[in-house]
Amino acid sequence: MCTSVLYRNGKYSYFGRNLDLQYKLGNDVTVCPRNYVLKFRHLEDMPVHSAIVGMALTGYGYPLFFEGVNEYGVGAASLNFPNYGQYNTELEEGKKNVTSFELIPYLLSSCRNLDDVRKELAEINLVADDFNEKVKSVPLHWICCDKKGSIVVERTATGLHVYENDLNVLANAPEYPAQAVNFANYLNLTAEYPENRIVPHLDVPFYSSGMGSDGLPGGLDSMSRFVRAAFMMNNSKAKETDAATLNQFFRIMQTVEQIDGANHEKDGFYEITNYTAGANLDTMDFYWTTYDNQQINAIHTKDLDLDQSELIIYPVGHEQNINWVR
């Protein structure tokens, strides 16, 4: 399971996600330069395109992106969508037939804003090809964004749906409209000091701060994480600086992290937050932490040679890096 947000703080916008799984993946921070040839199953190869940065599996000769941001500040992330996601098993003439694992690089290769993403999605037929014999097609849905806002993309048994995402949050199942309706159950929650509305003429002692958030769901299920992330992000206060916005982004993501041992899956494994990753949509700077190393790592993506034709890969380390003070 996973959680993704678009966090906006004044002129600063950060987009990213937690990737939650029962096991560690061999993912790398991956920069896809403009002249790396993007190959597609049912479309022509794309030899020139926008530069992309994100987390990806790269050991199979093609970047399998979990999320990414391009040089124009457009972002996309795929999240697990079990029991709901359903792709077309047939190619559709007159449509752009794109596989689930190609959708992120396809959209980020050319879109310069969210309107471009909407136009591309109107022409796409999302098909169910496996990545390879080992990596099978899995049900996913997507959050796509620019600095102004985000949308949710879901392919279900009833077709491809695009929803405006005013909350700028996405978790997992159920479908986004159900998540949004459930959020309405918590509209009474507040970050403000509580007010005695029942018996305002009585002096009732408040035993704790934070009582306005009493009832905020604390579970690790997707609906709880959706509500919690939306509450935290939309009540967030941070100085309008890049450093403060970056720090607050990671703080928000920590509120929906999963720790080892707290979520025992039916396969016998425990789901954990493998990594948290985020990008500044203006600068394309990319940041990440892992479960075993909470120190923020980063690259200045635009300082790299983005005109080369080979992937630029940074292996993700998992050893804890402690700043010992002497």
Using H for helix, E for strand and C for coil, what is the string for the chain?
CEEEEEEEECCEEEEEEEEEECCCCCCEEEEECCCCCECCCCCCCECCCCCEEEEEECCCCCCEECEEEECCCCEEEEEECCCCCCCECCCCCCCEEEEHHHHHHHHHHHCCCHHHHHHHHCCEEEECCCCCCCCCCCCEEEEEEECCEEEEEEEECCEEEEEECCCCEECCCCCHHHHHHHHHHHCCCCCCCCCCCCCCCCCCCCCCCCHHHCCCCCCCCHHHHHHHHHHHHHCCCCCCCHHHHHHHHHHHHHCCCCCCCCCECCCCCECEEEEEEEEECCCCCEEEEECCCCCCEEECHHHCCCCCCCCEEEECCCCCCCCCCC
Nearest to 151 by CA among 231, 37, 75, 71: 75
pLDDT at 250 (0 to 100): 98
pLDDT at 10 (0 to 100): 96
Please confirm, yes or no, whether 2 is among the known catalytic residues. yes
Catalytic residue, chosen from 2, 32, 111, 145, is 2
Domain map of the chain by residue range? 2-181+242-315
Give 10-residue mean pLDDT values along the chain (326 residues): 96 98 88 97 96 94 95 98 95 96 97 98 96 89 98 96 97 97 94 86 85 90 97 96 98 96 91 96 98 95 98 92 90
pTM score:
0.95
pLDDT at 135 (0 to 100): 84
pLDDT at 204 (0 to 100): 85
How far apart, in whole angstroms, are the C-alpha atoms of residue 155 and residue 85? 6
pLDDT at 24 (0 to 100): 80
Give me the CATH topology for the region 2-181+242-315. Penicillin V Acylase; Chain A (3.60.60)
pLDDT at 58 (0 to 100): 92
pLDDT at 48 (0 to 100): 97
How far apart, in whole angstroms, are the C-alpha atoms of residue 169 and residue 50? 25
pLDDT at 133 (0 to 100): 84
pLDDT at 17 (0 to 100): 98
